[in-house]
């Protein structure tokens, strides 16, 4: 019998509508956690806006904004346990912050300081620039975690464009065959630089790609932090049992791909306006205000506090001593080989800075 694409039905998980009204029963979450989710979304947005300005001022290097994707990143990362691991690409800085990566270190990273690679105890792998390569790294980490009986889950964050890479498909296949504790979290933000999702894949959804690899897949409203958090909690339960999961979080990149990009060249203003009406912060704020656990006064104070945290982190990075070229050798292996030691000594002797 023929398997027809239109026979595959995928229903998106959603708890809050665009106006912040609960449309799908009661979620298993406390008021305290709801407020925490929103506070983190505020912090991530404030950081993102400041980082964009700092890059325009020439004070940090190229930056990949995450405006509009706060719910997907915060909701997914808040669900993780401390033992779990994040394997990010260049746009997951929000998720990394939630999981313990210091804000100061990301600023150092954008300044070209080698100390920016130090996660300081957070279970976050270095940012991966090569598209979808982190999916394979996450598979290796998940396999190691399973072998060592760590009860940890590896989470590979990837964009919709990354699902067109061979590394993504190889990772899913390997993870499913070996029953690894891993989640592939796809942030479908509709654009891979200037290429729309419809040009990336003919699949009606990205979530359904899980079926071909024998794993569970689900599509969630990526602008609904409550839905993302709840879905991620469920996915973690599955993954800890050796059942890999593919999550498609449907969201939208409101800003440029990076600070080297101009989105006005390839997408129209009407599309942007339609998605801005679905803004994740607006939605979550409306929900917690209606519940009576948040107010405009709290909101103003939270944005002010978030600004202060970003300022402090940037100042710390700014006054951190610059890296020396010989320090590069400290970030290759945990224990340097004799050859690396010789190379490091040679570079140091040349006094190259």
Active site residues: 253, 257, 266
Q: Hey, which bits of 193-346 come out as E strands?
A: 195-196, 216-221, 245-250
How many residues make up the chain in this entry?
Answer: 353
CB neighbours of 130 closer than 8 A, spacing ≥ 6? Answer: none
Question: Bridge-partner residues for 89, per DSSP?
Answer: 128
Crossing angle (nearest 10°) for helices 280-290 and 70-78:
60
CB-facing half-sphere around the CA of 85: CA atoms within 13 A: 24
Strands 195-196 and 191-192, bridge-based pairing: antiparallel
Q: What per-residue string of b and e applies to 115-152 under the rule 16 or more CB within 10 Å gives b?
A: bbebbeebbbbebbeebbbbbbbbbebbbebbeeeeeb
Residue 236, both tokens = 């973690």
* Element at 85 (helix H, strand E): strand 85-87
Separation in Å, CA 56 to CA 52, 61, 265: 6, 9, 19
């Amino acid at each position: 019998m023929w398997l027809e694409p239109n026979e595959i039905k995928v229903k998106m998980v959603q708890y809050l509508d665009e106006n912040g009204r609960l449309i799908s029963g009661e979620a298993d979450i406390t008021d305290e956690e709801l407020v925490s989710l929103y506070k983190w979304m505020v912090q991530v947005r404030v950081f993102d806006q400041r980082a964009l300005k700092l890059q325009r001022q020439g004070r940090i290097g190229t930056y990949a904004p995450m405006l509009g994707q706060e719910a997907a990143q915060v909701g997914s990362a808040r669900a993780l346990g401390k033992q779990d691991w994040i394997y990010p690409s260049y746009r997951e800085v929000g998720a990394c912050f939630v999981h313990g990566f210091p804000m100061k270190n990301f600023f150092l990273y954008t300044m070209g300081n080698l100390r920016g690679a130090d996660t300081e105890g957070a279970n976050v792998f270095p940012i991966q620039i090569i598209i979808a390569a982190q999916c394979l790294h996450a598979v290796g980490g998940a396999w190691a975690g399973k072998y060592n009986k760590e009860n940890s889950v590896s989470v590979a964050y990837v964009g919709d464009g990354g699902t067109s890479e061979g590394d993504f498909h190889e990772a899913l296949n390997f993870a499913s065959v070996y029953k690894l504790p891993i989640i592939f979290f796809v942030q479908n933000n509709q654009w891979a630089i200037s290429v729309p999702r419809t040009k990336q894949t003919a699949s009606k959804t990205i979530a359904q790609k899980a079926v071909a690899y024998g794993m569970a897949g689900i599509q969630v409203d990526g602008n609904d932090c409550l839905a993302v958090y709840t879905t991620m909690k469920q996915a973690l339960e599955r993954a800890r049992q050796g059942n890999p999961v593919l999550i498609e979080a449907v969201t939208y990149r409101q800003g440029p791909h990076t600070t080297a990009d101009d989105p006005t060249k390839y997408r129209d203003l009407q599309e942007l306006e339609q998605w801005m009406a679905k803004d994740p912060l607006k939605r979550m704020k409306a929900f917690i205000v209606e519940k009576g656990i948040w107010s405009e006064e709290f909101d103003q104070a939270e944005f002010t506090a978030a600004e202060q945290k970003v300022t402090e982190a940037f100042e710390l990075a700014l006054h951190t001593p610059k890296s020396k070229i010989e320090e590069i050798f400290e970030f290759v292996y945990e224990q340097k080989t004799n050859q690396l030691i010789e190379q490091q000594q040679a570079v140091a002797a040349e006094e190259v800075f």
